[in-house]
Amino acid sequence: MSWSQDQMAARAAHELQDGFYVNLGIGIPTLAANFIPNGMEVQLQSENGLLGMGPFPWEGEEDPDLINAGKQTITTLPGSVFFDSAMSFGMIRAGKVDLTVLGAMEVSQKGDIANWKIPGKMVKGMGGAMDLVASARHIVVAMQHVNKAGESKLLPQCTLPLTGLACVQKVVTELGVFGFDDHGFVLLERAPGVGVEHIKTHTRGFLTAHGSEPEISWP
């Protein structure tokens, strides 16, 4: 049984550490804000000028003036601060972001990422992704393992315009968690009931998997 998007976000949130300054990308990554472990102090930063985001609001409690870079309504925590995008990107480019969780259209076995453009199609654009992959200390991708056509998004090399080269350190999909070595992808964890052969079948890039990787359940 593969992980749901919430479970993927919970697994991505497991990469956070106390005291981290974190930027969450559009899509599945934003859900990680709901799964920060109790007692852990993490500062969430958004490119549109906010430091100190909280979890998503409950239905009926949304404030339309409080949005993240993906135009989703958010909450703020005590001590939150607002500023302009110039200062926000200055924080990113100065290396102040410890970890970013990004979505992606493709990730290569070398850790390249493509997540900002599909030629000929309308997408939301790059946002702060290019700055984040160049400056954040830790880069985690949370994405679906295959695209809408059922084609693997974990590839020998990216076919779409690149956002960054050899920068991704970990990938979380509905099938499992993947790291990298000199040869390509390395399977680290599996979703419950997902077999290694199933993962290999849906991974086009070179994958090292031994079958002893733990099956992990997330809330």
Which of 6, 99, 8, 94 is CA-nearest to residue 45? 99
**Contact between residue 196 and residue 211 where contact means Cβ atoms under 8 Å apart:** yes
Q: Which residues contact 175 (CB under 8 A, 6 or more apart)?
A: 2, 3, 145, 190, 191, 194, 198, 199, 202
End-to-end Cα, the chain, rounded Å = 14
For each of the domains in the chain, give its residue range(s) and CATH number, in order of start. 5-208 (3.40.1080.10)
Structure tokens at 115: 């997540």
Distance CA 26, CA 28 (A): 7
Can you give the pLDDT at residue 19?
Answer: 96
More confident residue, 15 or 219: 15
Does residue 41 carry a catalytic annotation?
no
Can you give the pLDDT at residue 124?
Answer: 65
> Most distant CA pair in the chain: distance in Å?
49
188: left (phi over 0), alpha (psi -120 to 50) or beta: alpha
Distance CA 154, CA 74 (A): 31
Confidence of residue 43 (pLDDT cuts 50, 70, 90): very high
Can you give the pLDDT at residue 149?
Answer: 94
Q: Which residues contact 114 (CB under 8 A, 6 or more apart)?
A: 104, 105, 106, 107, 158, 159, 160, 161, 162, 163
How many other C-beta atoms can be found within 10 angstroms of the C-beta atom of residue 95?
11
> Average pLDDT in the 27-49 region?
92
Residue tagged active-site, from 15, 47, 106, 174: 47
CA within 13 Å, CB half, 3: 27
The mean predicted confidence, pLDDT, of the chain is 93
**Contact between residue 167 and residue 139 where contact means Cβ atoms under 8 Å apart:** yes
Taking only the tens place, the pLDDT of each residue in 100-147 is 999 999 999 999 999 988 887 776 666 789 999 999 999 999 999 999
Burial code of 12-47, b = ≥16 C-beta within 10 A, e = fewer? bbbbbeeebbbbbbbbbbbbbbebbeeeeebbbbbb
Distance CA 167, CA 102 (A): 12
Task: Supply the pTM of this predicted model.
Answer: 0.94
Taking only the tens place, the pLDDT of each residue in 174-204 is 999 999 999 999 999 999 999 999 999 999 9
